[in-house]
Structure 1
């Protein structure tokens, strides 16, 4: 063991078990699917299913309200149910998932939102933290931003 490794161990740093290539690909696929499923369910106004994509203590920050996080599935569901009815189409692209461990991952994606109201499309993105739960991969945090 080299001097740097011994020093790191003394400071409490431990080498994490490596994620196998197969587990990494599976997590990347599952998290990417979650991003796309979120957009589809959102466009279909299937709010309970959207809320179920979050961990029980998950946090959602809408692109239009970046300083107002919504925490926990019940609050996330209530936030979606309080929205006025509208027809939308979310187009997500450039999804990149970075698997950090067997149970955590980070992702980013671009989002384009069209509404039937005739307003100009919104362009933004999401920074996501994912956690693996008993129900599979879920959003631990979904933070939206508007670009223009």
Structure 2
């Protein structure tokens, strides 16, 4: 991979991770689900041993989130490694703040976690084929 191409891939992956957090926090779940390939697998940080398989199932899982829950995700330390043509491995960290809407003092303790992703090039851009989260703190 040429240096310019590598930089473009790194930027695309960093934007994919940032967009995932933004769409999650804004409850724009249809757009969030479109960040995944049709056959993708998601392992949520809160339940890393329970795979959610397929874009439709991922969308349904997010739609089950209670309307009263408000989240704020911060992502960092995005590291991208090419593993094959059109496939990259991405590691990142996240910090999530959560509260119940309209309830003063309902803030929960922040949680910190990691994501290990397999991201693939598609005709529609870079997408998650696997997203594996884990809580650290």
Q: TM-score, normalised by structure 2?
A: 0.92
Secondary structure class of the residue paired with 1:87? strand
Match of 2:102 in 1: none
Structure 2 Cα separation of the partners of residues 21 and 101 of structure 1: 16
Q: Does 1:119 align with 2:90?
A: no
Indicate the residue corresponding to 1:134 in structure 2. 123
Structure 1, 96-105 or 69-78: larger mean CA deviation: 96-105
Residue in 2 that maps onto 1:82: 64
Query: Following TM superposition, by how much is the alpha carbon of 1:135 offset from its aligned partner in structure 2, in angstroms?
Result: 0.5
- The TM-score normalised by the length of structure 1 is 0.85
Question: Matches of 2:50 and 2:43 in 1, distance apart?
Answer: 6
8 Å Cα contact 1:97-1:108 kept in structure 2: yes
The higher radius of gyration belongs to 1
**CA root-mean-square deviation:** 0.9
| Structure in which a larger fraction of residues adopt strand | 2
Mapping for residues 1-148 of structure 1, pairs under 5 Å: 19-85=1-67, 86-116=69-99, 117-148=106-137
1:24 to partner: Cα distance: 1.1
Q: Say how many residue pairs are matched.
A: 130
Name stretches of at least 5 consecutive residues in structure 2 with no aligned partner.
Answer: 100-105
- 2: distance between equivalents of 1:24 and 1:58? 24
Shift of 1:99: 2.0
Query: Partners in 2 of 1:95 and 1:22 — Cα distance?
Result: 18
The answer on whether the counterparts of 1:41 and 1:49 sit within 8 Å (CA) in structure 2 is yes
* Structure 2 match to 1:10: none
Give, in whole Å, the separation in 2 of the partners of 1:70 and 1:138: 16
Query: Are 1:28 and 1:99, in contact at CA under 8 Å, matched by a contact in 2?
Result: no
